[in-house]
Amino acid sequence: MKKTAYLVSPQKNLIMPDSFFTQEILSHSLIVEFTSNEFIHRETEDLRYLFYLLDGKAKILKNQTNGKRMILQFLGEHDFIGELTLVGAEETTKDVVSIGQTVCLALPIEYAKNEWMNELAFVKMLSRYIGKKLLKRMEHFTTNQTFELKYRLAELLLTVSVDDLYKEKHTEIAEYLGVSYRHLLYTLKKFREDGLIQKHANHYLIHPEKLQQLLTEAKQ
């Protein structure tokens, strides 16, 4: 993890000039760079920052009583981390882990509560964002019940791969997709045979064009 004050960070160009972040807010913010598979936030720790993904990807995980971790949602650019804590809807946070090199804007959560939550435009924007995030999670569960695994897996590979490399754990992905471990392995094997992916040691090289073609087939 590398933290740099926004005003002196070489990554500050990732903030678009027309974004909702005012110069006052940015002056209190940090740019935080995470390496692959690094904790952006741990469930056991107090949330100190409201994060906004500028570049890269991440996943939200829930720790279960049996010791396993369950993926709840994948995040990408322009997603928030910690917004439910900010509005007081979530008391127990969850693990958030980076996928590949990830860059976030980090605003101290107390500053966000005391200053940002008093701005009507921000509250409206955050309300829309939380609503869309909830709908996206609901859509995931609906899709799990209606679409064949090959289509759902193809979309997931395109979503979470970094530089066309897929490195997620089979056990976590099987549970996320609502299928058995065996069914997932069978489908990955079929993808290899069809030339959609290639196995390399402990990861897969995906062929985005072929996977996208498969998804196009599902929409016809």
- What's the pLDDT tens digit per position in 141-197? 777 677 899 999 999 999 999 999 999 999 999 999 999 999 999 999 999 999 999
Domain of 29 in residue numbering reads as: 2-143
Q: Residue 188's domain is classified under what CATH number?
A: 1.10.10.10
Residues of the chain with pLDDT under 70: 17-18, 144, 220
Distances (CA, A) of 95 to 41, 150, 205: 6, 28, 27
Round to whole Å and give the CA distance between 42 and 95: 5
Say what the pLDDT of residue 150 is: 95
Instruction: Check whether residue 189 and residue 92 sit in a common domain.
Output: no
Same domain as 99, residue 117: yes
Indicate if 198 and 132 belong to the same structural domain.
no
Residue 137's domain is classified under what CATH number? 2.60.120.10
Q: Pick from 143, 159, 194: which residue ends a domain?
A: 143
Based on DSSP, count helices (H) and strands (E) in the chain, helices before strands: 8, 10
Which of 122, 143, 164 lies at the terminal end of a domain, its last residue?
143
Overall number of domains in the chain: 2
0.75 exceeded by pTM: yes
Check whether residue 96 and residue 154 sit in a common domain.
Answer: no
Phi-psi region of 86 (alpha: psi -120 to 50; beta: other; left: phi over 0): alpha
